[in-house]
Structure 1
Amino acid sequence: MKAAQPQSKFGPRFKAGLTGWLFIALAVLMICAFYFYPMIQALILSFQTGTGSNLSFNGIDNYARLFTDDMFLTAVKNTFIYLIFQVPLMVVLALFISVLLNNPRLKFKGFFRTAIFLPCITSLVAYSVVFKYLFSSDGLVNALLLKVHLIGAPIEWIADPFWAKVTIILAITWRWTGYNMIFYLSGLQNIDNSIYEAARIDGASAIRQFFSITIPMLKPIILFTSITSTIGTLQLFDEVVNITKGGPGNATTSISQYIYNLSFKYSADFGYAATVSYSIVIMIIILAFIQFRVAGDRNE
């Protein structure tokens, strides 16, 4: 009898796994080089102090400085004002629009969906500049409000601290509502229509169907869009820089703009700028955890 040949440790399963790793090796290398390495370097940098490249370790002094930095606290307050008002407004508006556009009897649905989604692919700088001119003292918005006699004098949308924040919130909502609408539309189209038919037979009104069927069925998507919108708002930069430049008197300065100022506008304090950057990471983790606990499925 012929002796059994010993099996090679490089069997078909190993070769298949190796082939798979070879396909993704370049992508893994790029992710490590351009994502994880900068993140780790920024974390190390957040424990350093100095101007330009003359850096030295100073422990947690940068993190302690956050609580006594008035400019940072102002930027956090401004950013959370945007967050508190803009995210719920955008989520509710996107959900409402998606329900309207999911109506099978509505004509020209493709046109309306494209029109509402179009702001998402508009250049951030371009649309910010347009908003700046629309909401200027002699802009189109004031002209229309004066024409219909809703106001007696032009509103200082850019120069007044309160109205400047309102302008930023309106700009963000205009841009990103269509983005969230697409997620809700995809979710609505995956809900079996027989569920609504059964509810109508049982006498449920359209409002009751919305709150008892639509909202529960879209709960995972609502949670997802809430978290992504929260992350985007905490990283708000373009609108503030291009519309109000952080003014008047730092009334609209966001955390990301403050990071930019620390790095490139003031004396280059890269260590403290990295610390402020990681404060955003901490805020995102805390808020995402809260949102998961409040809105997430407790059975999962």
Structure 2
Amino acid sequence: MKAAGSPLRLKAAAVGWSFVILAVLMIVVFYFYPMIQALILSFQTGTGANLSFNGMDNYKRLFTDSMFRTAVKNTFIYLLVQVPMMVLLALFLSTLLNDRTLKWKGFFRTAIFLPCITSLVAYSVIFKYLFAGDGLVNSLLLNLHLISEPIQWITHPFWAKITIIIAITWRWTGYNMIFYLSGMQNIDPAIYEAAKIDGASSSRQFFGITIPMLKPIILFTSITSTIGTLQLFDEVMNITKGGPGNATASISQYIYDLSFKYSSDFGYAATVSYSIVIMIVVLSIIQFKVAGDRNG
């Protein structure tokens, strides 16, 4: 047996590190270093290079900032409405597309997944025109006699939120669907055959077999969807610009405004950024606990 510090082992370790050292350095430089700098920045105030340490003042300001409360409220409305709806819709679509007898499955799967790879800015601008007062959506609803006058999708506080929710759901449902579809295809068909022999209905099989077997994937997509919604920016910025009257403003848009639109306050913007980190951690822990994951 060779010694732990033998030249051969050291050479093997050096070869192994040579493959990963560049990636490790890149991660440290472009991920961890900015995170640490942002954390330090959150305890400072001032503009440009004229920064000074102000302790916990930025964090105390969060509790008295009405605009921050508005942005958090709007973001949580998106989160509580859109994420469950998207998860349920993705489960429904993946169940339909997992049917072996369905024709053109490849086409439908591709069509539903395609929104995920479209440009965020491009699709947001298209949605803005589709849901304009004289846009295609209103024209279609008027022609079908479902409404008597155009809905102000972009300029009404309630309908503007609905437009954002529809846009996010359209883009990301296919992303989650692919995960569920992959999980369903890895479930042994013999389990379903045994359930059929025992007289279990399709709905009983879905809730008794499919959902429990997909539990880790559902937890994963719920957490990633939560993170994505808390960081929501492109749709709000390009469709409504946070309006009308901040009715659709998100936390990320507020960070942008603090940094580049108002008089630049990078210290407080970093503080608001870290509030998102805290929310993500808390909500992820809650989701792990609700799902009964022992590692949560």
Q: TM-score range by the shorter chain?
A: over 0.9
Deviation at 1:60, TM superposition (A): 0.3
Deviation at 1:8, TM superposition (A): 9.2
Q: Which residue of the other structure, out of 136, 140, 147, is the alignment partner of 1:140? A: 136
TM-score, normalised via structure 1 length:
0.96
Separation in 2, partners of 1:118, 1:297: 32
Amino acid at match of 1:258: Y
Whether 2:245 is the aligned partner of 1:236: answer no
Matched with 1:247 is 243
Is the 8 Å Cα contact of residues 220 and 296 (structure 1) preserved in structure 2?
no
Deviation at 1:15, TM superposition (A): 1.9
Q: Describe how 1:179-190 pairs up with structure 2 within 5 A.
A: 179-190=175-186
Q: Secondary structure at the match of 1:90?
A: helix
Separation in 2, partners of 1:212, 1:132: 42
Separation in 1, partners of 2:162, 2:126: 16
Whether 2:84 is the aligned partner of 1:76: answer no
Separation in 2, partners of 1:133, 1:223: 35
Matched with 1:105 is 101
Flag the 1:12–1:168 CA change in 2: closer, same or farther, 3 A.
same
Query: Unaligned regions of 5+ residues in structure 1, if any?
Result: 1-5
Whether 2:171 is the aligned partner of 1:175: answer yes
Q: How many residues align?
A: 295
TM-score, normalised via structure 2 length:
0.98
Flag the 1:92–1:8 CA change in 2: closer, same or farther, 3 A.
closer
Separation in 1, partners of 2:262, 2:139: 38
Larger Rg: 1
Q: Describe how 1:3-14 pairs up with structure 2 within 5 A.
A: 9-14=5-10
Q: Describe how 1:1-300 pairs up with structure 2 within 5 A.
A: 9-298=5-294
Amino acid at match of 1:11: P
Q: Percent identity?
A: 79
Deviation at 1:19, TM superposition (A): 1.1
Cα shift readout 1:224-275 (whole Å, capped 9, x = no counterpart): 0000000000000000000000000000000000000000001010000000
Flag the 1:218–1:8 CA change in 2: closer, same or farther, 3 A.
closer
Is the 8 Å Cα contact of residues 259 and 276 (structure 1) preserved in structure 2?
yes
Matched with 1:3 is none
Separation in 2, partners of 1:53, 1:74: 30
Deviation at 1:75, TM superposition (A): 0.2
Deviation at 1:16, TM superposition (A): 1.3
Flag the 1:263–1:196 CA change in 2: closer, same or farther, 3 A.
same
Cα shift readout 1:173-221 (whole Å, capped 9, x = no counterpart): 0000000000001000000000001001111000000000000000000
Separation in 2, partners of 1:288, 1:229: 11
Is the 8 Å Cα contact of residues 223 and 296 (structure 1) preserved in structure 2?
no
Is the 8 Å Cα contact of residues 237 and 257 (structure 1) preserved in structure 2?
yes
Query: Unaligned regions of 5+ residues in structure 2, if any?
Result: none
